[in-house]
Amino acid sequence: MIGPSAARHTHTKETTIAEALQSQGYTTGMFGKWHLGTPNKGNNMSSDALPLAHGFESWIGTNVSHDYGSAMLLKSDPEGDDPIKGYSVIAKNLPSDIKASESLTGRYTEAVVEFIKKNKEKPFFAYIVHNQPHLGLFASDKFKGVSRRGLLGDVMAEIDDSVGRVLDAVEKVGISKNTLIIFSSDNGPWVKYRESEKTKYGEARMHVGYAMPFRDGKGSTWEGGHRVPGIFYWPGMIKPNTVIQNPMSTLDVLPTLVSIVGGELPKDRSIDGRDVSPYLMSTKQAVPPFEFLYSYSDNKPSALRVGPWKLHIRIGSQRGDNYGFKAFEDTPLLFQVEQDNSERFDRAPEKLDLVSTLREQLLKKEAQLIEEASFWGPIRPRKK
């Protein structure tokens, strides 16, 4: 997530899914929130800050989350020149433009349906990133009042309708058996606002969800911040009602899709994620073990999960609640998150050898991050 005034953006040396698939002949389109850079004075209004520089051939969406006061609704436009060449502004200052904000989910849906129809005869990649249900909540007139859950329910009903319309479009053009659809989310609910009567979003207590049985939510290092649905739909390949209980991460999507289309990953860098295509294709090929490094708001390593075990060396929560625990590098917490998915019982005292092994793995990964650095330059070490 990169704010609108930041000079940096996704670096052009990074390989996106769009670029990887485009290199294999796929037409690419993006529909929704970008939040990975904005042309501004700090980067000399760089065209590298927006999606067309990163493998997408078309885009309609917001430069950042729609709750930023300066958020813009943009579209790629060969004749456009606002805010930079190749783009046009549809709406500015979205929080104060109610009608534009209410139109986002429907706009994206209509655009992606047309994209599917236009590209039905060739391989394509459609990346759909709805702004909702991020606060503040907006639903179009058609969906206002349809849910007993209130505005949050209305918003979710419109997103549900959007997913249904995309599935219908794929079915109607006759490509459902040759199309992989992935549905997921970026993080858990924004529980920080669950007890807030007065916020910049107004009354927000009923506008956020719950991560139960997981602890905490968005912006935390607890499971409630990271556990989200993961649905893969591919009628021509995935057997109906298949349930994979082994965990995976959205970081696995890039290597998995590259494998499926017969591409190659860059060999000059470490790739976060694994190829999990054997899960989808029901082959006997082994999938590498699940490992996941958790970070907090400073982007520094805070916890590591390997298999069912999760080691915390720091606790991060937007609520500022440590739930009675303390975690340090020398005295970490250890949870078996398959049996104890609420992270209630610290097993570190009885699993000293495992604690030592996981801590060593975490520190090794942290050292690797610092050694490999970023395309933008060195990474500052974590304060100890």
CATH number of the domain encompassing residue 349: 3.30.1120.10
CA 252 remoteness from chain centre: 12
Contact 73, 104 (CB under 8 A): yes
Residues 233, 263 within the same domain: yes
Inter-axis angle of helices 98-118 and 151-172, nearest 10? 20
In a domain, 2, yes or no: no
In a domain, 7, yes or no: no
Range of the domain at 342: 291-372
Residues 116, 265 within the same domain: yes
In a domain, 22, yes or no: yes
In a domain, 195, yes or no: yes
pLDDT at residue 384, as a whole number: 81
Spatial separation of the C-alpha atoms in residues 259 and 311, rounded to whole Å? 31
In a domain, 377, yes or no: no
pLDDT at residue 370, as a whole number: 94
- Give the count of alpha carbons within 13 A of 87, CB side only: 27
Q: Look at the chain and report how many structural domains it folds into.
A: 2
- Mean pLDDT per segment of 10 residues, for the chain of length 384 residues? 96 97 98 98 98 98 97 98 98 96 98 98 98 97 97 97 98 97 95 88 91 95 95 93 92 98 94 94 90 93 97 94 96 98 98 98 96 92 86
pLDDT at residue 283, as a whole number: 85
Amino acid identity, position 207: H
pTM: 0.95
Residues 136, 86 within the same domain: yes
CATH number of the domain to which 57 belongs: 3.40.720.10
Residues 205, 298 within the same domain: no
Q: Scanning the structure block, which residue is given the tokens 């604690």?
A: 355
pLDDT at residue 251, as a whole number: 97
Residues 68, 207 within the same domain: yes
In a domain, 308, yes or no: yes
Residues 298, 192 within the same domain: no
Q: What is the DSSP letter of 202?
A: B
Nearest to residue 170, comparing CAs of 186, 184, 183, 155? 183
Residues 212, 264 within the same domain: yes
Residues 238, 312 within the same domain: no
In a domain, 318, yes or no: yes
Residues 101, 248 within the same domain: yes
pLDDT at residue 90, as a whole number: 98
Strands 301-306 and 291-295: antiparallel
Residues 250, 333 within the same domain: no
Contact 224, 191 (CB under 8 A): yes
